[in-house]
Amino acid sequence: MTKPIWIKHAAQLATLASEVKGPRSKGKMSELGLIEDGSVWIEDGMIQAVGTTKELEERFADKVYEAEIVDASNHLVTPGLVDPHTHVVYGGSREREFEMRLEGASYMDIMNAGGGIHATTRMTREATEEELIDQTKRRLDSFFSHGVTTIEGKSGYGMNLETELKQLRVMKKLQEQHAIDIVPTFMGAHAIPPDFKGREDDFVNHLIDEMLPVVAEEKLAEFNDVFCEKGVYTPEQSERILEAGKRFGLMPKIHADEIEPYGGAELAAKVGAISAEHLLKASAEGIKAMAESGTIACLLPATALYLREEAAAGRRMVDEGVSVAISTDCNPGSSPTTSMPLVMNLACISMRLTPAEALTAATYNAACAINRQERVGSLEVGKQADMVMWNVKNYQELQYLFGVNHVKSVWKKGVKVV
Ligand code: NIG
Ligand code: FE
């Protein structure tokens, strides 16, 4: 038995606790369950009690002497941040493309010329499993140092069975070697592999008949994602892939309406996707359909900034009743960052979410977007003790002092990792 941990005297404890279960929208995104002079009691990696310091002092009076005490005076304490959309396992890097884009090339031009996703696919195919593990571990450490304790991770830099499986197995191995939680997504439909150019439907058939069954059989993924975009997968092809994934028990996600309006948000609602990603160019009908179907909008304002595009209509989506989550999109092309704090700042600055909404989007709603809301995303009894102590006093200050890493300490399942 490890020592209990008692975090006490938090200037502000944002528990994100709520009676309402499931993704939050509208005014519910502003309810942070704040406790002043807050306190959390942790045993065996789980949260045993949450309340004011006075309440927990009374309740655990006879156990205090055996606990490790953390004084959180003057600090904000929140749940560990959740990043619900990453492409964290990849080989190589693409800094030259960054320069090319600044010189005027577009993201899609580079991809269509064999760079972009194709370049990373080549480098990921060439990398050994050990090399990928080693490179990814460094990114996972960086997530921890930015207060992120759970991430989703996608395959998609293989686009052949062998390398897709390699990426997914790397995630599985990293679960044993690293304390962060990784929730795996299969994204074989991330681009059209060059050898299938002009025979896109053949690749869709191959993915459905040859790849999905193996991924499902080996239980390597929980979600199935597709890049539904002009010049990549059409809404019809995307629907076939996502419906096939459902038959194998994989929940649908969609990279939707990132570059052009293409019916992706509408499709997400139609197939009952747990989330739709990007949505920079989502139509008014698509947004309405998502609010009605309860599909979470997973918005990626760092990607928009990095591609120098206008961010998604986050404010409007919240107002229209869509549950919004936010994410880094951590990948070597359109968003090479692990900083969820920066993404929260940008959610406020470029999408006009309020500081409270941005925190909900990066914790509880983010957990919902990867079906982990029973375990993480809020500080409630019976949940994992994934927590962050910040070098600020309240949640407004966290979003206001931007571009700075305010993390002081991070606990993953009750173990201090930063
Ligand atoms: O979510 N849009 C497609 N996929 C990734 C980018 C991947 C890459 O450029 O390597 C995204 O932005
Ligand atoms: Fe992505």
Which ligand neighbours the alpha carbon of 89 most closely? Answer: 1
Q: Please tell me the distance between residue 379's alpha carbon and the centre of ligand 1 in angstroms.
A: 32
Given a cut of 90, is residue 172 above it in pLDDT? yes
- What is the per-residue pLDDT for 197? 93
Which ligand neighbours the alpha carbon of 259 most closely? Answer: 1
Which ligand neighbours the alpha carbon of 120 most closely? Answer: 1
Q: Which of 117, 187, 337 to mutate for ligand 1's pocket (most ligand atoms within 8 Å of CB)?
A: 117
Q: Which of 157, 334, 335, 337 to mutate for ligand 1's pocket (most ligand atoms within 8 Å of CB)?
A: 334
Answer for the pair 294, 274: CB distance below 8 angstroms, yes or no.
no
DSSP single-letter state for residue 210:
I
Helix (H) or strand (E) holding 39: strand 34-43
Q: Average pLDDT, whole number, for the chain?
A: 98
Q: Please tell me the distance between residue 164's alpha carbon and the centre of ligand 2 in angstroms.
A: 16
pLDDT band at 401 (very low <50, low <70, confident <90, very high): very high
Task: Give per-residue pLDDT as tens, 40-71.
Answer: 999 999 999 999 999 999 999 999 999 999 99
Answer for the pair 410, 418: CB distance below 8 angstroms, yes or no.
yes
Share of the chain above pLDDT 90, in %: 99
Number of helices (H) and strands (E), helices first, in the chain?
17, 16
Task: Check if 332 has its Cβ closer than 6 Å to any atom of ligand 1.
Answer: yes
- What is the per-residue pLDDT for 183? 98
Task: Check if 85 has its Cβ closer than 6 Å to any atom of ligand 1.
Answer: no
Answer for the pair 224, 168: CB distance below 8 angstroms, yes or no.
no
Q: Please tell me the distance between residue 333's alpha carbon and the centre of ligand 1 in angstroms.
A: 6
* Cα 271 to the center of its chain, rounded Å: 21
- What is the per-residue pLDDT for 119? 98
Q: Which of 255, 275, 335 to mutate for ligand 1's pocket (most ligand atoms within 8 Å of CB)?
A: 255
Given a cut of 80, is residue 72 above it in pLDDT? yes
- What is the per-residue pLDDT for 277? 98
Q: Please tell me the distance between residue 41's alpha carbon and the centre of ligand 1 in angstroms.
A: 40
Nearest C-alpha neighbor of 387 from the set 369, 407, 360: 407
Q: Which of 107, 139, 309, 331 to mutate for ligand 1's pocket (most ligand atoms within 8 Å of CB)?
A: 331
Nearest atom (ligand 1) to Cα of 229: 2
Answer for the pair 379, 411: CB distance below 8 angstroms, yes or no.
no
Task: Check if 227 has its Cβ closer than 6 Å to any atom of ligand 1.
Answer: yes
**Hey, which residues does 71 pair with through a beta bridge?**
8
Pairing verdict, β 251-256 and 46-52: unpaired
Residues 6+ apart with CB under 8 A from 176: none
Q: Give the Å distances, CA to CA, from 103 to 29, 118, 212, 332.
A: 40, 20, 39, 18
* Cα–Cα distance measured from residue 365 to residue 386, given in angstroms and rounded to the nearest whole number: 15
Given a cut of 90, is residue 369 above it in pLDDT? yes
Q: Per the structure block, which two tokens stand in for 272?
A: 């009952």
Nearest atom (ligand 1) to Cα of 157: 10
Strand order, beta sheet including 81-83? 81-83, 148-154, 181-189, 223-228, 251-256, 275-278, 296-299, 324-326
For residues 253-273, one letter each, b for 16 or more C-beta atoms within 10 angstroms of the residue's C-beta and e for the rest, the string is: bbbbbbbebbbbbbbbbbbeb
